[in-house]
Amino acid sequence: MARPTSASIHTDALRHNLAQARARAPHSRVMAVVKADGYGHGLERVARALEGADAFGVAALSDADRLRAAGLSQPIVLLSGFDEADDLPQLRRLGVETVVHHLSQIEMLEQAADGEPIRCWLKVDTGMHRLGFAPEQVREAYARLSALAGVADGIVLMNHFASSDEFANPQTPAQLRAFADATAGLDGARSLANSAAVLGWPDAHADWIRPGGALYGISVVEGTTGADFGLRPAMTLSTRLIAVNRVRRGERIGYAATWECPEDMNVGVAAIGYGDGYPRAAPSGTPVLVGGQATQVIGRVSMDLMTIDLRGIPDARVGDPVILWGPELPVERIAEVSATIGYELTCSITRRVRFVET
């Protein structure tokens, strides 16, 4: 094996996290969101581990095609909705449900040829201002969809929260009120809760919850990790030391010479970089584990390599394992110092990383 960088995917953690979501919302059905190649964990691998979910959520029809090819028979919902009329036969062929968020989609459905009715999820814009019908447009959109023979009975009403990761933010209660007002008296199941709302807003659980990052053990609530909510990380990113170098005091490390050795010291070189998906933005001081011992990145992360402070690990040797994130080192800690979120880090793992299912 020429390159030791690997991402171990813990399928037992995926199943545990699904069970945690069900425990938090025991009266709700669960749509497992597996978009972005299962948040970087591998679409088919994740879906098989989460086959106890009531439905899957994807962002692209190609993902739905892959799930069907893998033998998954659960309902699949196209979360961003279809883009053009030519998508409708594909939705029918795959048995995929679709979010409807714009007047143009209703018009395409009205003009479509006859075929098997498609189940629709009508999206209400209650304050995210990304996709969805404004509250005053919802009733007309609902009526037009309900009148179509090509739309299946049982339209689901949904929204998306903008600030549900901030448990004291008044925007989420305001969105709940706006949704309730806009949909009052309309038949159909309701779906409101993303991962953060599953964890922190029980009033939003409704008929369907849509956990994404939580299924992978990741929190987006500032200052927390998934473990704080009883979740388990589903990915361990690891590599090995390929060099241990003795560097003198005052010498500088890496591109742009951003880190100066404060003393004569050992510097480790690990076979991982931004070409593998590790963030180039990770600064000196970002935590890593070498042989299970805590230390830090020093110098700038390069495409294929990173340099590591070995002052506290005098016995470190070439071949020692290096953990970049996993159960012992939450991905949220690396995300925080890199000014991003854990979702982005797991989604960024590149094709040259070897995936191992555990």
Model confidence band, residue 2 (pLDDT cutoffs 50, 70, 90): confident
How confident is the model over 85-92, as a mean pLDDT?
96
How confident is the model over 48-71, as a mean pLDDT?
97
**Could you report the per-residue pLDDT of 317-346, keeping only the tens digit for each?**
999 999 999 999 999 999 999 999 999 999
State yes or no: pLDDT of 102 exceeds 60: yes
What is the per-residue pLDDT for 254?
96
Model confidence band, residue 162 (pLDDT cutoffs 50, 70, 90): very high
| φ, ψ for residue 99, nearest 5 deg | -75, 140
- Find how far residue 100's CA is from the centre of its chain: 22
Partners of residue 260 on adjacent β-strands? 252
The three-point CA angle 102-107-109 to 5° equals 100
C-alpha R_g of the chain? 23
Residue 277 has which token pair?
């998906």
Mind telling me the catalytic residues?
Answer: 35, 255
What is the per-residue pLDDT for 113?
87
Model confidence band, residue 82 (pLDDT cutoffs 50, 70, 90): very high
What is the per-residue pLDDT for 1?
55
Residue 150 has which token pair?
């090509």
| φ, ψ for residue 102, nearest 5 deg | -145, 150
How confident is the model over 22-46, as a mean pLDDT?
98
CB contact burial 222-234 (16+ within 10 A = b; e otherwise): eeebbeebebbbb
How confident is the model over 201-219, as a mean pLDDT?
98
Domains and CATH numbers, the chain: 11-223 (3.20.20.10), 235-357 (2.40.37.10)
State yes or no: pLDDT of 256 exceeds 60: yes
Residue percentage of the chain with pLDDT more than 70:
100
